[in-house]
Amino acid sequence: MKVDTVWRNASLATMDEARPGLGEIPHGLIASLAGRIVYCGAEAEAPSLQATRTIDCDGRWITPGLIDCHTHLVFAGDRVDEFRLKLAGATYAELSKIGGIRASVAATRAASEETLLRAALVRLDALIAEGVTSVEVKSGYGLDLDTELRQLAVARALPAHRPIAVSASYLGAHAVPAEHAGRVDDYLDLVCDVAIPRIAAAGLADSVDGFCETIAFSPQQIDRVFVAARRHGLAVRLHADQLGDGGGAALAAAHGALSADHLEYTSEAGAAALGASGTVAVLLPGAFFRLRETSRPPVAAFRRHKVRMAVATDLNPGSSPLASPLLAMGLAATLFGLTVEECLLGVTREAAHALGRADRIGSLAAGKDCDLAIWSIGQPAELVYWLGLNRLHQRVFRGQ
């Protein structure tokens, strides 16, 4: 068999659902052709291969390329002053009244597409440096049509500047902009009847997201947004149950959402709904840590109901200025009690399910995209154990 590249003399953590645990294969080999994996397995069992390039991994570990399945990567400005207020004891709800999302909206509206792109690439480079090959990017810091379109255009442009796969989400239902204060239904008219049809027609987003909280939108209002999204062929996902149990997990499940994210206050019934629907629970320990939350996501309930759990950075300028999936895993283990296996699956296979792309990414198997992270480690647990130490040896995107 003629192939482009062979990676040999490696230990593989395939994350393949057909294998137990992390799907480990000692003395493994991966072969790629035209950016896809054509063989992944034991080197001793590999077919005869004629490779243009052979790479000796010298016993290193190979995992799938990491996936950051929840980010707000495209924005302008920062919220350093808000951070100082947080240190002085201000709550998330209090900050939302004096700045919060609205502060980022003002900065983002004032920024050109070029400015947004330059800033996003700096943050994206930090993720790439830790082995990320796929990323989800949300809008939501414009809250007017022009700026939301600009954010999504920048998200779509990222692969032209870096070797990365991007899933884009329209987050118009992030907050009510100041110009619509007291007129939430009027704003949702714009989101549902103007923005979603235009964004869908232009192919600028893969999904529609929303923020279902007392400080944002009610379940009934989010329901309206999701109905509009589905009408125009877009998947849905939801920021849910972060600040209280508002039934967000159950709402996401009822709509067959790809994911429900945060979930610090999700009930047993909400966990059961997620398990029944197949909606992925995306855990965001960066926001939990930065906001000094005390209510943890109900991980035990998620396990009982066989809910898939992903882990992501929630990279954003306010509640989670975290640009390290490796640190996100470490925080998820320490703060939420996830196992090493759950953390590693959470940034690979389960994150791929959260993006609706598990058929192509998130695990190593023949037919999948050849997105690899090669690590100078003795065992996969080191990727969760170390805090602030990046052991990435090489990142491979589409076989290159």
Assign 3-class secondary structure to 301-343.
HHHHCCCCEEECCCECCCCCCCCCHHHHHHHHHHHHCCCHHHH
As a whole number of Å, the CA-based R_g of the chain is: 21
Count Cβ atoms within 10 A of the Cβ of residue 367 and give its class: 0-12 exposed, 13-18 middle, 19 or more buried.
exposed
Q: Please give the pLDDT value at position 321.
A: 97
Q: Please give the pLDDT value at position 280.
A: 99
Q: Please, which residues have CB within 8 angstroms of residue 188's CB and are 6 or more apart in sequence?
A: 173, 221, 224, 225
Q: Please give the pLDDT value at position 90.
A: 81
Per-residue pLDDT averaged across 148-177, rounded?
Answer: 98
Q: Please, which residues have CB within 8 angstroms of residue 267's CB and are 6 or more apart in sequence?
A: 245, 249, 298
**Cα 233 to Cα 229: distance, rounded to the nearest angstrom:** 6
Q: What is the pLDDT of residues 230-244, one digit of tens each?
A: 999 999 999 999 999
Q: Please give the pLDDT value at position 221.
A: 98
Whole-model pTM: value is 0.97
CATH of 66-354, one of 3.40.190.10, 1.10.10.10, 3.90.1280.10, 3.20.20.140: 3.20.20.140
pLDDT > 90? residue 82: no
Q: What is the pLDDT of residues 365-375, one digit of tens each?
A: 999 999 999 99
2-64+363-396: CATH superfamily = Urease, subunit C, domain 1 (2.30.40.10)
Q: What is the pLDDT of residues 242-289, one digit of tens each?
A: 999 999 999 999 999 999 999 999 999 999 999 999 999 999 999 999
Q: Please give the pLDDT value at position 81.
A: 85
Give me the torsion for CA of 327, 328, 329, 333, rounded to 10°: 100
> Helices 145-157 & 100-109, crossing angle to 10 degrees?
80
Spell out the domain ranges in the chain: 2-64+363-396, 66-354
The DSSP bridge partners found for residue 134 are 67, 165
Q: Please give the pLDDT value at position 167.
A: 98
**Cα 130 to Cα 127: distance, rounded to the nearest angstrom:** 5
pLDDT grade, residue 89 (50/70/90)? confident
pLDDT grade, residue 385 (50/70/90)? very high
DSSP for 136-202, please give it: EEE--S--SHHHHHHHHHHHHHGGGTSS-EEEEEEEEET---GGGTT-HHHHHHHIIIIIHHHHHHH
Count Cβ atoms within 10 A of the Cβ of residue 146 and give its class: 0-12 exposed, 13-18 middle, 19 or more buried.
exposed
Per-residue pLDDT averaged across 20-35, rounded?
Answer: 98
